[in-house]
Structure 1
Amino acid sequence: MRLFGYARVSTSQQSLDVQLKALRSSGVKSSRIFSDKASGSSNERKGLELLQMKVEEGDVVLVKKLDRLGRDTGDMIHLIKIFDDLGVAIKFLDDGISTEGEMGKMVVTILSAVAQAERQRILERTNEGRIEAKLKGVKFGRKRSIDRNQLIALYEKGIGATQISQQLNIARSTVYKILKEESELSFGTLS
């Protein structure tokens, strides 16, 4: 039996350090740790693909937490099945569970379903908060950096979109977008 490790964070700005340290302190050699900086919902994970190629029957893959392997229940079950077909068990360090045996597979399936439900609740709460904030006048996105009044003034002087875009150092499509928005504000949208 050989120990392997898998670590994942969702974005390149996040650090793998905590997961890597936990895997090494659990006895996984650094050369047998595979990692990804990608969303768990993506099937394009090079580290996970390499891990699947390296493991053999009887090996064990350690993962710090359940949600580091996959993003939703379907993905988790699919990955567990792939490793199970290879004769490879997965152990989740923080959760204290393993895919070894039928009970292990059942527990992992239930926990991944609970994790997916929690993520869905978080998304719902986030969206409700956004809607409420918009109703209160909160604006999302980055602040506008284009002087809209200057753009409108140039347009009203008869200067064309190409010259405006060159003068303000913005894309011509942005000029058209702002002009459209301004005309909709002035005249209302026609339905």
Structure 2
Amino acid sequence: MRLFGYARVSTSQQSLDAQMKALKAEGVLGNRIFTDKESGSHVDREGLQMLRLKVEEGDVILVKKLDRLGRDTADMIQLIKEFDAMGVSIRFLDDGISTEGTMGKMVVTILSAVAQAERLRILERTNEGRQEAKLKGIQFGRKRSVDRNTVLALYYKGSGATEIARQLNIARSTVYKVIKDSQKLLV
């Protein structure tokens, strides 16, 4: 039996250090830890693909938490089935569960469904909050840094987009966008 590890964070700005430390503390060799710095919403991740190629029957994959392997229930179940068919089990350190045995597979399936439901509830609450904020007149996005009136004044005085862009130190596409937006308002 060989130990392998898998660690994942959602963005390149996040750190894998805590997961790596936990996996090494369980006896996983550094060269047997596979990592990804991207969303767990799909299974087409480079580190996960490499792990799939390296493991063999009798191996055990350690993952710090259930949601580090994936977020989508269907994908998680498929991964668990895939590894099970290869004779490879998965242990989730923080959750204290394993895919070893029938009961372990059932628990993992239930927990992954709960994790996905929680994620959907978070997205739902976030969207409701955005809708409510919009109704209250709150503007989303970056504050405009271009004085639209100046752009339009120069344009209506006969200056071309390139000249306006150079004079205001903005992109020509920005000038065109301001002009186009103002024309929509006139219609």
Distance 1:170 1:51 in 2: 47
Counterpart of 2:67 in structure 1 is 67
SS at match of 1:35: strand
Q: Which runs of 5+ in 1 are unaligned?
A: none
Cα deviation, residue 21, structure 1: 1.0
* TM-score normalized by the length of structure 1: 0.92
Distance 2:106 2:19 in 1: 25
Counterpart of 1:46 in structure 2 is 46
* TM-score normalized by the length of structure 2: 0.94
Q: How do 1:1-191 residues align onto structure 2 when only pairs under 5 Å count? A: 1-185=1-185, 187=186
SS at match of 2:8: strand
The percent identity for this pair of structures is: 74
Aligned residues: 187
AA aligned opposite 2:104: G
AA aligned opposite 1:177: K
AA aligned opposite 1:28: V
Distance 2:141 2:85 in 1: 46
AA aligned opposite 1:57: E
SS at match of 1:137: coil
Cα deviation, residue 83, structure 1: 1.0
AA aligned opposite 1:97: I
Contact 2:58/2:87, CA 8 A, preserved across alignment:
yes
Distance 2:146 2:43 in 1: 39
Q: Which moved more, 1:53-62 or 1:101-110?
A: 101-110
Name segments (4+ residues, structure 1) moved above 6 Å.
Answer: none
1:145-178 Cα offsets, whole Å, 9 max, x none, are 2121211111111112232233333333322221
1:73-94 Cα offsets, whole Å, 9 max, x none, are 0110111122112110000111
Cα deviation, residue 132, structure 1: 1.0
Distance 1:77 1:44 in 2: 15
AA aligned opposite 2:180: K
Q: Which runs of 5+ in 2 are unaligned?
A: none
AA aligned opposite 1:45: R
Cα deviation, residue 22, structure 1: 1.0
